Structure formats: C-alpha cells, structure tokens
Amino acid sequence: MRPILLFLFCALFVACSSQTEVEYPPLIENTDQHKEASKAPFFHGVASGDPLPNAVIIWTRVTPETQLPSVKVNWEISTDESFQQLAREGQVITGPEKDYTVKVDAKNLEPGTQYFYRFMALDGQSDVGQTKTTPEDLQEINFAVVSCSNYEFGYFNGFGAISEENDLDAVLHLGDYIYEYAPGDYGDSTTNRIHIPAKEIIELQDYRDRYAQYRLDPDLQAAHSKHPFILVWDDHEITNNSYKDGAQNHQEDEGPYNVRKDIAVQVYYEWMPVRESGQLYRSFSFGDQVDLFMLDERLAGRTKQADSITDPTLYDETRTMLGQKQLNWFQDKLKSSTANWKVIGNQVIFSKLNWGRSEMDLNLDSWDGYPVEQEKIANLIQENGISDVVFVTGDTHSSWAFEVTHDPDNYNPQTSEGAYALEFGTTSINSGNFNERFTDEEVLAHEAKIVNTPVNPHLKYSNMRDHGYLLIKLSDDQVEATWKYMKTLKERDRTFKEEVRIEASRGTAKLDLE
C-alpha cells in the first residue's frame, strides 16, 4: 500500500473509532431526579452481604453518562480505611445486561475480621464500605433484624439508626425489601415519597427502576455501607402473597406469572449482595455460638394458600411451605447443628396465632396455613431434643415474642413447660401497621385481648403500633431481644421513641418478662 493511501486509511480508521466512541446515546434513567451528583458514577452506594469466615460479597452499581456496552470496575478490600493494607483487589466488567450492577465474591479473607472496601470506575470512586467476616470463636453474636420497607410509607429512619449501631455481626433482612404497588395503592401520600415507575411493577425495567429508587435513599445506603446484610425475599419482591406458581396480586392481563417471577428473581440477584448458588435458602455459621438458617418461604416450594379455615385441603399432605427438597435440607441442618443457638430466618410467623379478629382468626399466608409441614418441624425439634432454637420473623409489621408450642393442652403458660423454641417477630421499617387504620387506644386494647390470654397463652408480647427494628444478642447463657421503635416516619429523624427488651436463658424456652 502506498504511503499516502496508508495515511488516509489510518486517518479514516481513527476518525471512525472516535466517532464510535461518542455515538453512544445518553443514559437517561427514571430515577435521575433522586441522584446526588457528588456521588457519580456510584450514585447507589455500596453494600456487602453473605459473610463467611473467609469471604464476603461486596456490591455496587456504576452509572455511566452514556449507554456504554461495558464498564471496567476496579475493587479493593483492606483491613484499614486508608487502604494501605490491601487484602484483595481485582477488576470486573459490568454492562446493561446486569443493569450496570457489580457483585464480587471477595475470597481468601481472615475470619472474624473487619474490612473496608471500595470501587473505582469512569474516573470516579465509590463510598467506602465496612464489612466483616464471620468469626470462628466469639462469645457474643449480635444481629439486627429487619423487614418490610415501603418507600411510600415514609422515611427509612430505622435503616439510618442501624447504620449507627456498633458491633453488629450482620443485618438479617427477612423480606419485603421493596413493594411492587403503583403510586398511591399502599402508602402515605403526606410524605411525598412516590414510587417509580408510576405503575405496578411487572416488566424488567419496572423492577430495576424500583430497586434503583430504593437504593438511592440515603438511610438505606448508610445501613448497607456499615454492615453486611444476609437477605431473603418475601412476597413483595415479586408480588403480594406470592407462591411458587402464582400470587394474589398477579392477574391474567399482566402476562404469565412465571415470566414475572423470573424477572423479579433476576433483578433481586442483580441488586442484592447475595451469593448466587441456585437457591436462596442457605446457612451461615458464627463459630460455635450460632448456626443461622435462612429459609425461602415463597418461591422454593410453597403451594397456593388455602382459601379459608374451612378449606378441605388445609390439612392436605401436599400443602407445603418449603417444598420437600428444602424441608429435607432444613431438617438435616437442624439435626446436625452443634452450635449453642440455632437461629431460623423466617419470613412468616411460625407459631400458632389467633389474631382475635372475627374476619381472620388465622393468617393462612403464615405457617398456620400449612399445618402439616408446621407440625413436621415441631416434631423434629422435640423428638430430636434440639434445644435453643430461635425463630426470627418478619412480614406482619408488628412485634411479637412467643414461647413456641403447638400443643396448647400440654403447655403451661406459667412455667413454659411444653414450649420447645422461641420466636421473635420484628416490626416493619416503615410499612403500615394497625394504627394507620385504628387509633392507638383501639390497637392497645386489641393487643391486650390477644397477648397472654386464653386465645394465645404462649404469646407474651406484641406491639402492633410502632415501626423500627429488632436487635438479637446471643451469648453463652442467654438470648436478648430488643425492639427499637422510631419516633417518626414523617421526616428524617433517627430518634427512638421507645425500647423494649426481653431475655431468655439458654436451655429453656421461657421468656423473662421482668
């Protein structure tokens, strides 16, 4: 090729390449109005989760200015906040097929160690996050337990307060991280926190937009940046009262349920710092002190809820909450655990509960709607002498403390004889509870009607009025549950209204209510 032709060819190639680089259209997102410019391109903060003794998931999302087909993201994890002592580093590539999210399984770490982590891309740097691996030997384990955060019901003050908690080993999120409803369908219009998109979420971009909106909230970002999360979904990550093959809030004109479910699962894994292994139920060991079992009570095996307490299929052997595969896994894990405490991350109430309402004595979306499998688990624990079992539960937007029994005729409410486990329910971060519909006086009267009375002698505490979170402390000799209730949801305010603490000694299923 002659020199002049070679020059022209090279000039044309460079011009075309340069043109290609600038031809990507702008990346315009429905949530742009909520982005804080100073955080670009890491508007959605950082998160960590699924800690192990030698590994932890770290997460972020990078948002390019244009619709780039791929973005290189560097990451670092260090034992010091100045990143002088790097433990691990690497590079990953993300793109629109992952909604530009980044998830790294940082391995070969040290057990029981606090780490700092960050990401770099597109000439920007993320916030610095804190996380920790699980310990091999620790006398005290501390969890925050949360569920049910609905953007439209007000501010996420509970998450903000959790970001200020010290010495947490993990935050256990028991589901309803987002809500699927259209603006105004379920919320508090006075807070002016309006769901994006302006519709019930059904399609891929809908779910991505809804997670993006929630993850732009500064209080939620603060909690994620301070502590590792261990998460499971409940129903609203998909749609209300979902089960394996359908849902109450999915209609025929919304397309095939399985398509919607698969989209919801895909986006959940994109946006959550969870390890992807084919199923969401999994276990974690916190040394000899705690074995934690996170159950999937929605999509792994749940069959359709019964229509009513007179439904002839209510006691059918085929009605299942977990599905046989997960049930077998759970039974094997419980029987083989040698930890002092066996903690079960449980989306819906396990204990029998009479709600004391003429229109709903039993909640058939909870374990009471699956009594055969409920009894199988009760029998497993009792027949194998498995002690110090603690269920932690979300879903109901209320606080609960049960001495778990499924045989009230052989349960003594004074001595707790006949109880075989404990259950602590966390209230919602901000999703509506009973005093959004009734006065405080009416709700207090109802609590008195159902707590520690003949209808529920094993239910020792309930609060159906306040929002916040639950702290669980597990030591060699006792478990301590502390509910922290926020003063308000109407404005950003991390002030507590009240704290309630209940303890129980190891080796018993008796709650100390003093």
Domains in the chain: boundaries: 32-132, 141-512
Query: What was the pLDDT predicted at 15?
Result: 44
Highest mean pLDDT among 6-20, 280-294, 430-444: 280-294
Asked if 418 contacts 410 with a C-beta cutoff of 8 angstroms, the reply is: yes
Give the DSSP letter of residue 128.
P
* Average model confidence (pLDDT) across the chain: 94
197 upstream amide cis, omega within 30 of 0: yes
Contacts of 9 (CB under 8 A, 6+ apart): 1
Is a pLDDT exceeding 60 seen at residue 142?
A: yes
Query: Cα–Cα distance between 53 and 59 in angstroms, integer?
Result: 18
Contacts of 54 (CB under 8 A, 6+ apart): 107, 108, 109, 110, 111, 133
Query: Cα–Cα distance between 170 and 342 in angstroms, integer?
Result: 16
Which pair of tokens denotes residue 286? 């916190």
Read off the pLDDT band of 512 (50, 70, 90): very high
- Which amino acid type is present at position 261? K
Give the DSSP letter of residue 215.
T
pLDDT digits (tens, 9 = 90+) for 350-360: 999 999 987 66
pLDDT (mean) for 235-247: 98
List beta partners, residue 503: 480, 512
Residue 183 main-chain phi, psi, to 5 deg: -55, 135
Read off the pLDDT band of 413 (50, 70, 90): very high
**What percentage of the chain exceeds 90 in pLDDT?**
90
Query: What was the pLDDT predicted at 54?
Result: 98
Query: What was the pLDDT predicted at 346?
Result: 96
Q: Half-sphere exposure (CA, 13 Å, Cβ side) for 291?
A: 20
Category of 468 on φ-ψ map: left (φ > 0), alpha (ψ -120 to 50) or beta = left
Q: Which helix (H) or strand (E) holds 178?
A: none
Give the DSSP letter of residue 273.
-
Query: What was the pLDDT predicted at 103?
Result: 98
pLDDT (mean) for 477-494: 97
DSSP string, 99-136: TTEEEEEE-S--TT-EEEEEEEETTEEPPPEEEEPPPS
Which pair of tokens denotes residue 131? 């996380």
pLDDT (mean) for 318-334: 97
Residue 444: how many other CB atoms lie within 10 Å: 16
Query: What was the pLDDT predicted at 22?
Result: 62
Read off the pLDDT band of 17 (50, 70, 90): very low
Which pair of tokens denotes residue 377? 């688990």
Q: Residue 145 burial (CB < 10 Å; 0-12/13-18/19+)? A: buried
Read off the pLDDT band of 16 (50, 70, 90): very low
Query: What was the pLDDT predicted at 455?
Result: 92
Contacts of 497 (CB under 8 A, 6+ apart): 466, 485, 486, 487
pLDDT (mean) for 152-174: 97
Which pair of tokens denotes residue 84? 């002088």
Query: Cα–Cα distance between 239 and 335 in angstroms, integer?
Result: 34
Query: Cα–Cα distance between 90 and 94 in angstroms, integer?
Result: 13
Architecture of domain 141-512: 4-Layer Sandwich (3.60)
Query: Cα–Cα distance between 461 and 78 in angstroms, integer?
Result: 43
Which pair of tokens denotes residue 353? 């509960």
Q: Is 469 helix (H, G, I), strand (E, B) or coil?
A: strand
Right CATH number for 32-132 from 3.40.1350.10, 1.10.3720.10, 3.90.1150.10, 2.60.40.380? 2.60.40.380
Asked if 451 contacts 462 with a C-beta cutoff of 8 angstroms, the reply is: yes
Q: Is 375 helix (H, G, I), strand (E, B) or coil?
A: helix
Read off the pLDDT band of 3 (50, 70, 90): very low
Residue 373 main-chain phi, psi, to 5 deg: -70, -35
Read off the pLDDT band of 514 (50, 70, 90): low
